[in-house]
Amino acid sequence: MDKNDIEQLLEAVRAGNTSVAQGLERLRHMPYEDLGFAKIDHHRALRQGFAEVIYAKGKTAKQVVAILRGMLRPRTTHNILITRADSALHRAVRRIHRDAKFHPLSGAITMLRNKKITGQGTILVLAAGTSDIPVAEEAAVTAEIMGNRVESVYDVGVAGLHRLLRHREKLAAARVIICVAGMEGALPSVVAGLVAAPVIAVPTSVGYGTSFGGLTALLAMLNSCASNVCVVNIDNGFGAGYTASAINRP
């Protein structure tokens, strides 16, 4: 339940359209609802601007569905995001919410219940190579479901720098840039040297042996000589999308 939901509820009680008892019932599960195996943070959107996100990996379909039911029970209108999911989980989720959409590249499930754009500018997502697209897509889906305009440009790594430079106008217009790269992780440094916007660097586990599952790219990004680069964890497209959204708020 976010600020708008609470305001609407209080207005409904004041107008007599909702009884005090009904209002109390809707507020009953705040600030969190204990399911035993999980505690649903119903106040997350009120505190942080976006509702709790369900990380599906390591959870059973039954657990994810139970958490989702709890999030839907207060009749909220906020968007819902489930990360690191698969098509089998999507089928289970669709039984309780038919509008749930599965994004196969990112492995995300979204429920778009509020189409309002709240971000001030455009978030641009860049992927160095085609193999980096799944992580880039997780970042893009996350930023979109959080109410941002998102553009994506893929396969523009430093092995062919002319591919990136063709998009100078998009680079200059973006308010935040997410840069996803594996191998040696050089792309964020190059991009950050061309723009005034903050660049969120996402190392991926793409690469040969001495990439060490993304550690080489991570260290390269942490040691970037460009001053406007910040770095999230390996393959953490969600974290990049979330942080970009926070930067892009009014």
One domain, residues 126 and 107:
no
Q: Which of 15, 39, 37, 10 is nearest to 26 (CA)?
A: 10
Residue 169 lies in a domain: yes
Q: How far is CA 198 from CA 101, 147, 206, in A?
A: 30, 19, 24
Structure tokens at 247: 């930067």
Residue 100 inside a domain? The answer is yes
Task: Label the pairing between strands 54-55 and 80-83.
Answer: parallel
Torsion of the alpha carbons at 134, 234, 82 and 100, rounded to the nearest 10: -10
Beta strand extents in the chain (DSSP E only): 32-34, 39-41, 54-55, 80-83, 101-103, 108-111, 122-127, 149-154, 176-181, 199-203, 229-231
Q: 39 and 101, same structural domain?
A: yes
Residue 91 belongs to what domain range?
3-111
Residues 32 and 61 reside in one and the same domain: yes
Say yes or no: 99 and 187 in one domain.
no
Q: Token pair of 17, please?
A: 């359209």
pLDDT for 47 equals 77
Structure token digits, residue 160:
């062919």
Same domain, 56 and 98: yes
The pLDDT score that the predictor gives to residue 75 is 67
132 is a domain residue? yes
How far is C-alpha 203 from the chain's CA centre? Answer: 16
Domain boundary among 70, 85, 111: 111
Same domain? For 194 and 95 the reply is no
pLDDT tens-digit profile of 90-147? 999 999 888 899 999 999 999 998 888 988 999 999 999 999 999 999 999 999 999 9
**Are 155 and 73 within one domain?**
no
41 and 94 part of one domain: yes
Tell me how far the alpha carbon of residue 29 is from its chain's centroid: 25
pLDDT digits (tens, 9 = 90+) for 214-241: 999 999 999 999 999 999 999 999 999 9
- Give the pLDDT score at 54: 93
Rounded-to-10 torsion of CA 148, 143, 7, 23: 150
**Is the sign of the CA dihedral 98, 242, 200, 166 positive or negative?**
positive
The answer to whether residues 202 and 232 belong to one domain is yes
Better-scored residue on pLDDT, 8 or 222: 222
40 shares its domain with 91: yes
In the predicted structure, residue 3 carries a pLDDT above the cut 90: no
CA distances, 216 to each of 56, 172, 205 (Å): 27, 28, 9
Task: Tell me the whole-structure pTM to 2 decimals.
Answer: 0.85
Convert the pLDDT of each residue in 17-30 to its tens digit: 888 887 776 666 56
Cα–Cα distance between 48 and 62 in angstroms, integer? 27
Report residue 102: phi and psi, to 5°.
-100, 135
- Output the pLDDT for position 50: 83
How many domains, the chain? 2
Does residue 1 carry a pLDDT above 60? no
